[in-house]
Amino acid sequence: MFPPSPKQAFLVLNSGSSSIKFSVFEKTSDDVLTMILTGQLTGIGTDAQFSVKGAKGETLAKESWAERDTGAIAPLLQSLIVWITDRLPDTPLAAAGHRVVHGGRRFVHPVQVTPQVILDLESLIPLAPLHQPQNVSAIRVLAETFHDLPQIACFDTAFHHSQPRRARSYALPRELTDRGLHRYGFHGLSYEYIARHMPSIAPEIAEGRIVVAHLGNGSSLCALHRGESVDTTMGFSALEGVPMGTRSGSIDPGVLIYLIRELGMGADELEHLLYQRSGLLGVSGLSNDMRVLLESDSPDAAEAVDLFCFRVAKEIAALAASMGGIDALVFTAGIGEHSEPVRARICERLAWLGITLDATANARADGLISQPGSLPVLVVPTNEEYMIARHTADLVALKNVA
Ligand SMILES: Nc1ncnc2c1ncn2[C@@H]1O[C@H](COP(=O)(O)OP(=O)(O)O)[C@@H](O)[C@H]1O
Ligand SMILES: CC(=O)OP(=O)(O)O
Ligand SMILES: [Mg+2]
């Protein structure tokens, strides 16, 4: 008999465009990962707010970090790391795991970060300008703080690697496809978490054809068959697919040619328009936050919500067509998990697919929310941080890097 391996702690960072989500997990000798604290730094660049909860949901911190917020992510990350390390349990920190949005063609599995990996990730910044700089920044700040701490990069794009070529291709000349101008897909850690947990949540449908709607500030949908990604709405960048908080979603490329030629827009202006000024914010002229739009009586806000629901319903049907049918629909992420009216409106549009929601269950939003006899519709909370911790712990154990 080998002695049980000692406990290890893992720090997880999920750095987004305007927020950093973080968690600390503890791994016990039986390889179980338990979250011991989780928090977020939101509103970066406007009015940073810091909040942390413990394992039982108790509040450990709720502070305004507005006066240290210059919009730059590195100093905020340094403060965050100081806060976390002061409260780490006795368990030694074995590694840090990061969500990295774009893995390009090279990274199709989690990898240990090396100086070369950092350079490779930096070269992918143009493909994910809203996320990748923050992801790389988080890796650099941690490397400066903990010189010898192994860091593992886990990619949003990796889970979609299983897709057939036809789902990953654009109808472009072959030489451009061969240069990497193809569809990658994102939110893979979220879809992987859902796919892994479906067997325990709904074993009778877990191996079937499931459309997962990850609706948050960034939104995409994924067609899962036998637990693998076979198609998804985001493509080369995190712009394709449904409209999002501030992103346009799919748009006729002719519009872009028009904007360049007739309105004289340059690449930076176009990027800012499509990533930051469009989507729910652009249509409503009010906010990127679905909660604000649902509470507003402005017709433009109502139009933004309607456009969002219409486009999500259309993509659900499109992904069902990709799989030759659909056995279940799953809602997840900020809007998917928490917005009863948005789920109801999307599902109303899909009555023809055999979907009828149970209004009481939809209000409760816990597991199955459809009526008996309907195509099953579920709400499943996602947990990208757990998935990152799992990959990080597995890679550390495999390589014995800690
Ligand atoms: N109760 C709610 N009703 C409607 N929308 C909500 C609710 N709670 C959160 N949201 C939406 O979820 C979004 C954040 O989702 P999240 O998955 O955390 O996004 P991201 O990770 O992309 O930042 C917010 O912008 C907000 O619009
Ligand atoms: C890829 C992406 O859109 O991520 P997020 O939802 O965190 O913005
Ligand atoms: Mg997210």
Q: DSSP letters along 220-262, please?
A: EEEEEETTEEEEES--SSTTSSS--SS---S--HHHHHHHHHH
List the shell of residues around ion ligand 3, using CB closer than 5 Å.
Answer: 216
Q: What amino acid is encoded at 387 in this protein?
A: M
Q: Is 272 annotated as a binding residue?
A: no
Domain 8-155 and domain 203-250+277-379, same fold? Reply is yes
Can you tell me the mean pLDDT for 301-318? 98
Is 215 labelled as part of a ligand binding site?
yes
The CATH T-level fold of domain 8-155 is: Nucleotidyltransferase; domain 5 (3.30.420)
User: Which pTM does this prediction carry?
Assistant: 0.95
Put residue 211 in one of left, alpha, beta given phi > 0 → left and psi -120 to 50 → alpha.
beta
pLDDT over threshold 60, residue 1 = no
Kindly state the average pLDDT of the residues 245-265.
97
Ligand 1 surroundings by CB, under 6 angstroms: 16, 19, 216-218, 245, 289-291, 333-335, 338-339
- Distance, CA 17 to ligand 2 centroid (Å)? 8
Residue 5 has pLDDT above 60, yes or no: no
Ligand 3 center from residue 168 Cα (angstroms): 22
240 labeled part of a ligand binding site:
no
pLDDT at residue 107 is higher than 50 = yes
Higher pLDDT among residues 28 and 323, named by residue: 323
> Which amino acid residue places its CA nearest to atom 6 of ligand 2?
218
What are the sequence ranges of the domains in the chain? 8-155, 203-250+277-379
**Residue 244 among known ligand-binding residues:** no
d(CA 277, CA 268): 13
Q: Measured from the CA of 101, which atom of ligand 2 is nearest?
A: 1
How many other CB atoms are found less than 10 A from the CB of residue 34? 12
Q: Is 338 annotated as a binding residue?
A: yes
The predicted structure's pLDDT at residue 402 = 57
For residue 374, how many other CB atoms are within 10 A of its CB?
18
* Active-site amino acid positions: 156
Gap from CA of 34 to ligand 3 centroid (Å): 21
Q: Which of 292, 212, 188, 299 has its CA nearest to residue 245?
A: 292
Atom of ligand 1 nearest to the CA of 290: 27
Residue 69's pLDDT is 77
Residues 271, 336, 233: CA angle, nearest 5 degrees: 45
Note the pLDDT of residue 114: 96
**Residue 183 in contact with residue 168, Cβ under 8 Å?**
yes
Q: Which amino acid is at 130?
A: L
Q: What is the torsion angle, in degrees rounded to the nearest 10, for the CA atoms of residue 226, residue 208, residue 238 and residue 282? A: -170
CB within 8 Å of 33: residues ≥ 6 apart:
10, 25, 26, 27, 386, 389, 390, 393
With a Cβ cut-off of 6 Å, ligand 2 is lined by 16-17, 101, 131, 156, 186-187, 216-218, 238
> Would you place residue 2 in the very low, low, confident or very high pLDDT band (cuts 50, 70, 90)?
very low
CA of 219 to the centre of ligand 2 (A): 7
Residue 201 marked ligand-binding: no
CA-245 nearest atom, ligand 1: 25
| Separation of CA 394 from chain center | 21
85-94 per-position pLDDT tens digit: 888 767 788 9
- To test the pocket of ligand 1, the residue of 101, 289, 308 to mutate (highest count of ligand atoms within 8 Å of its CB) is 289
Quick: pLDDT tens for 132-172. Answer: 999 999 999 999 988 899 999 999 999 999 999 999 999 99
The residue whose CB lies within 8 Å of the most ligand 2 atoms, and thus the one to mutate among 131, 190, 274, is: 131
Architecture of domain 203-250+277-379 in this structure: 2-Layer Sandwich (3.30)
Ligand 1 pocket mutation, candidates 18, 280, 290, criterion most atoms within 8 A of CB: 290
CA of 97 to the centre of ligand 1 (A): 23
pLDDT of residue 6: 74
